[in-house]
Structure 1
Amino acid sequence: MRVLPATVSPFPGETVRSLYNRLVERNSLTAGELWTAIRKSKQGLPLRTTPEAAPEVVAQLDDLPANWFDRDDTTNRLFSRCIHNNWAHAQCARCSALPKPATMCRRCSSGMNVEVQSRAGAFCARHKRWHYDGRDEAIGFPVAYARAERCLTGTLWGRGIGLDTGEIELACEIISTYREFVDRDNSTRSADQRLRDFYPDAVELSAFLTAPSAQAFLRNRQIGHLPVAAMVGAAVTAVASRSRHRLSSVHEMFQASGRELRLGDPVAKPLRHGRSLEIGELGGLVRDSVPRIRAVFLRHDDARRPLPTLRDQPPRHR
């Protein structure tokens, strides 16, 4: 197809749909009008406007190479363990997944609504704005959110954890339960609102529960649900206290070897299998969620099978 009269400059990692919508707006068209023209030039496309089905045509309309959306910046991929990197966490072009599309900060995109797949979270540290799901909101305590953003795109990204992989969402739910219990806050929050309200704490809790020592504790199936509930309860309380020392001490407090559990003092007598354990009220609230906690926070350490080759799979933004 011919290049449209007015083109736009693509952002790194921009999705096909995002570029398509900006082309439509720049040329004073409607999404349906342009899609009808595309369908007339290429057979087999769905009736519904689906630019992801014709990425090469969208690229041509913007005067870009036809294979523009097939290019792959591996640095945007989440880390994973696979055979191509000797089972170490790495960004593999074949096995590592791209994060789900997310909206850019409106200040970074000059006010435009841009959707990208890149190594980023929900907060723009440069402009101190919350940009998740198209929002453009100021944050009252930007330092904590900026720290969480660095942790997410650094430590957690290196463990294969992003906003859409489940760990942050579950951490928000746990912290919300804690707030309801401690603050007697019975207000109902949506998942998006929980993410905005508890982002720094949720990222820190996710980092704690995916650290090697916590992973060893969660992976030990011989100690049952109660010790895990107690450990999670102690970690949430430490995160809420904003004390790094208190959080690091939780690692030392909960040690397990086989069926033997050692709490507190390293030289204390082990709590052997079958003996009761006091888990506190918060631990009781998360007790029934322990199977899910184990599944979600151990997920990132699973090895991946090689994905189909690029020739066999659809373009990266479909």
Structure 2
Amino acid sequence: GAAVITVASVVWYLLYVRPRVDREGAATDAVRRQVGRDALEQVEIAASQNAHEVLVALTKNVSEERERSLVAFAADVVRPDDGRVVAVRFEEVPDQVPLTEQVTVQSDADRSFERRVEALSEEFGVAVEADEIVSHDTKHAIVNLATDRGVDAVVAEHEPLRLRSRLFGDPVDWVVRHAPCDVLLVDNLGYGRPERVVLSGENGPYHPLAVGVAESVVAANDGQLSLWYPADATGSDEGARTIDDYQSELSRLLSVPVSAETVRTDGGRRSQPDLLVRRGSSDAVRDALFDDRPAFPSPGCTTVTVYPHESRRPGFVRRFLERATF
């Protein structure tokens, strides 16, 4: 009896289960390859849309070193197009305080900030402009300035926030959702000359904005770009080969040295990068409830999370296919 059951089970698997699994696996791989091709086309299109002017929004008192790091990063982003960096220190006062000339007049600290930041123009080889804005609402002031100047991206510091801050409105998180342009949030652990830059892939192909930012930084510092992807992302040999092919095609599109690495999410990786670039989640509710950090272990370096403007974000169906296949 047991032998009959065993034989019947083997026959059932060979005649019904395996062909079905093979067909489903082939279909998934075909969709994955098409999603990858579409992503590569978007990278080619985005290559001609580099940032010409970037707003560095300083929303709190930071050290001169961190201030310099943000401006240096922004300078590397705009350098391919001889762009401009606008560094603005935003100060918020209570609604009860009228915005009179006495409140908004420049202080000695303001003038020192402007001299210090604008002096970086010669060092970094790009135009750098500094200013201060006093307002009753920092987040609206940032978005209004970005709109008035028509900047291509906003760069700001990002730190882990408490749940209350996420639910009831941190200025920088609000800017991500309402800015008229791309937003680049920086977990700022310092920024010198990053020679080893990592482009992190999680739950989908690399976003064109993340690719462009990483390539600009590598080109500015004569470095190397490393493509990271989780080792167990697809769970199949076919999926792994498809991602390898996708990374190879992406490497051929870029003008900088590129290597690819599979990375274990349990902490195993080859070496520590100088800078990690990744795309942020497009799920506002998820971002409000959870600190959206990389699935990989902490890279131990400055991390840039890119949030494309809504006009450059994939739609629901595309996001579903990316998560389902990558």
TM-score (norm 2): 0.25
TM-score (norm 1): 0.25
Higher strand share goes to which structure? 2
